Structure 1
Amino acid sequence: SVISGSINQGVYLTILYFVIFTVRQLIEPKIMGDSVGIHPLIMLLAIYGGVVFFGFMGIFVGPLIAILIRAATLSGLFKFPHYAD
């Protein structure tokens, strides 16, 4: 839009892009986390860590690893001591 000469339209499109990008970054981990029973912050960290360690494929690998760790923990494969308050 900026190239065709409409600066206003270019500014509006840029603002719209950032709004959509921000909403997606906040909503996507919540939806994914709720569907598999993992806190949205953990899911966001899993996505970020996956991208850092595995590149583009980490978007899928990171959450998959988080889901596997949760399943292993719930099945009793990992035992964590419980502390009484």
Structure 2
Amino acid sequence: VLGVNYALLLAVIIAILDFLPILGTGTILIPWALIRLVAGEYAFGVGLLVIYVLTLVLRQVIQPKIVGDTMGLDPLMTLLFLYLGFKISGIAGMILAVPVGMLILNIYEFGAFNSFIGSVKTLIHDINAFRRGPD
């Protein structure tokens, strides 16, 4: 699109960096765009920044769907698990959150929490009955 020499080689290098957790497409595209902007090649620099923004937005939109389909989860649940994992333990939490969340959901669907949920419902009912007093 921008007429870059060795575009395929650069694309492969950027894709490899994108696989690494801390690094990403911005590791190459942002400094490259800044250098081109400072050098006076405004169209090329802005083009690189547009490519970076498109990559970032598409990745954020598509990633929960891909992970959800791979793991067999709803994309919204995948996004929720990724967010909770990041808030609890950062990058390592994000990596572990989806499998742990999937395990908990499968255990719930199997019925392992039914007696616990029933006990909590009974407790809430009894507390409400106690608060209302004798009728």
Per the TM superposition, whether the score is higher than 0.5 is yes
The percent of aligned pairs where both chains have the same amino acid is 32
Larger RCO, structure (CA 8 Å, separation 6 or more): 1
* 1:68 partner SS: helix
Of structures 1 and 2, the larger Rg is shown by 2
Q: CA deviation at 1:30?
A: 0.8
**TM norm structure 1:** 0.77
TM-score by length of 2: 0.52
Aligned letter for 2:104?
I
2:71 to 17, 36, 52: 36
In structure 2, runs of 5+ residues without a counterpart are: 1-35, 119-135
Which consecutive residues of structure 1, in runs of 5 or more, have no partner in the other structure?
none
Q: How does 1:34-73 map to 2 (within 5 A)?
A: 34-73=69-108
Coordinate RMSD, CA, aligned: 1.9
User: Any runs of at least 4 consecutive aligned residues in structure 1 with deviations exceeding 6 A, and if so which?
Assistant: none
Q: Give the number of aligned pairs.
A: 81
Counting helix residues as a fraction of each chain, which structure ranks higher?
A: 2
Quick check: 3-12 or 45-54, which moved more?
Answer: 3-12
